[in-house]
Chains A and B, each alone.
Chain A
């Protein structure tokens, strides 16, 4: 089946620094990827939809200037948490749909755990 990877798997940073998370579709091209955030013992909350070659679409309440998304190619989307603060500590998960199998099934990356000190 389709595989999505994320890098890094975990990161610890100081408050005020920026952190970049990569999401790659390894065996298919994804024109659309999704970024989710999950706090402990909670569900996934969609942050934004990453569109290849165009601007990302952000969900209500998500600051686009704080969470920069770049979908530079059909296999790579990046999420940059700018000027990270402790409240940004969370589990960030990306997903992508394989156009070859239709738009219905999302394939999720393994997630990136961010801890901001």
Chain B
């Protein structure tokens, strides 16, 4: 199985950059996802990494190091609407490729 660890809560100010770290332990790994979830809403897909390196998508970037079991989500030019929970999600390398969710990092962006 897998274990996903990420900080419970982070705060940052509007316009700043914030990095949300995630470490994972797996018995089989087939990719790492980041999801955004606003309070009371469903998670929405942000990024997917399966190879080492940085994937950039607008203000959001995600990094993966498989040898270190480590990923981070980088958010630039923070906006108030970025206040949400960010879920680090691992995918098992099994026939069904089950997703394993971290508990999420609640990010609060202040003016």
Q: Do A and B bind each other?
A: no
The residues of B with any CB-CB pair to A shorter than 8 Å are none
The residues of A with any CB-CB pair to B shorter than 8 Å are none
